[in-house]
Amino acid sequence: FHRYDGAGHGFWYYDRPAYRPEQAMDSWGKTLAFFGENLS
């Protein structure tokens, strides 16, 4: 579990005021790494 300060619900959605591009990109990398380590 990882929490990003200042990034609330919907921080991945680029068309909303809550969008946080740096946190979204970092979390996507962490998600893909997790999948690679645990689903392969």
Burial status of residue 30 (CB atoms within 10 A of its CB: 0-12, 13-18, 19 or more): exposed
The whole domain housing 30 covers: 1-40
Share of the chain above pLDDT 70, in %: 100
pLDDT band with cut points at 50, 70 and 90 for residue 29: very high
pLDDT at position 16 over 80: yes
Q: What is the pLDDT of residue 32?
A: 96
End-to-end C-alpha distance for the chain, whole angstroms: 20
Q: How many domains does the chain have?
A: 1
- Distances 28 to 3, 31 between C-alpha atoms, Å: 13, 5
pLDDT at position 40 over 80: no
Share of the chain above pLDDT 90, in %: 70
Question: Residues 21-30: what's their mean pLDDT?
Answer: 94
Q: What is the pLDDT of residue 36?
A: 96
CA 15 to CA 34: how far, in whole Å? Answer: 26
